[in-house]
Amino acid sequence: MGINEKLQEIIDSQADVVKKVVALVGESIEELKARAKVEKKSLEEVVEEIIKTVTPKKKEGAMGMPLLGDKFPTLEVQTTHGPMKLPDDLKGKWTVLFSHPADFTPVCTTEFVSFQKHKEQFDAINTQLIGLSIDQVFSHIKWVEWIKEKFDVDIEFPIIAATDTLAAQIGMVHPNKGTNTVRAVFIIDPEGVVRTILYYPQEIGRNIDEIVRAVKALQKSDAEGVATPANWPENELIGDKVIIPPATDCETAKKRTQEYECFDWWFCYKESK
């Protein structure tokens, strides 16, 4: 079997690619040297080309979820409130962008009703809500009408009609869940930066109070340069107080216990403003 056939075998199997390339190089070193001479390249360059050939490339629209601290990717989307451009249309406000597996499903319906019933709380903290699933916009519209008819709840926030590719680009499609989007939540700050990511399986509905709390905690941290404890503002140790970032030098560490309430110099806290 010649080198081309062996390369094709590797490409077809995609199993243990590096090991097979190493074996191929060992078996075909003379053939590779001859190829390098003809192409006027070094042996290393020829081997590198082979490795690139047999290494699988990331498919278009594969999982590409933005990470914490990343700018939310630029997307042009169709919503129940008309076209939007993200994150440009989000600038100046906090955003909770959340995906749901599908319209006309029971858990998602309970979530949408709850998000709407919490909307005044989100409005009070300058936060907009945006839903998303891989459903056409007319499906979203009909579902919103159905929720109004059955529960007398008006869904006032936009819902994005996503394509498979769009949802996959921001990590909202789980490879083991078919084409349904998972229950992902992105909390995005007024500059379009992703600050929190929450993931839930299809079978568990989200706790909307926790999402409100997370936005408030981020805003508190940004405004005061502090951290918030577990279950803030109802922490078991310090209540609604906030944590001072730990000292990073000996001089500051010595002063900490005199300036703040502390369990130790590395665990100090204060009243929130």
Q: List the catalytic residues.
A: 108
Residue 136 burial (C-beta neighbours within 10 Å; 0-12, 13-18, 19+): middle
Q: Per residue in 203-238, is it b (16+ CB within 10 Å) or e — as a string? A: eebbebeebbbbbbbbbbbeeeebebbeebbebeeb
- Contact yes or no for 77/191 (Cβ under 8 A): no
- Contact yes or no for 122/131 (Cβ under 8 A): no
Q: Rounded to whole angstroms, how far apart are CA atoms 35 and 228?
A: 63
Query: Position of tokens 């809500």?
Result: 129
Q: How far is CA 150 from CA 106, 109, 144, in A?
A: 13, 11, 10
Residue 138 burial (C-beta neighbours within 10 Å; 0-12, 13-18, 19+): exposed
- Contact yes or no for 112/155 (Cβ under 8 A): yes
CA pseudo-torsion sign 207, 66, 222, 247: positive
Q: Rounded to whole angstroms, how far apart are CA atoms 126 and 59?
A: 37
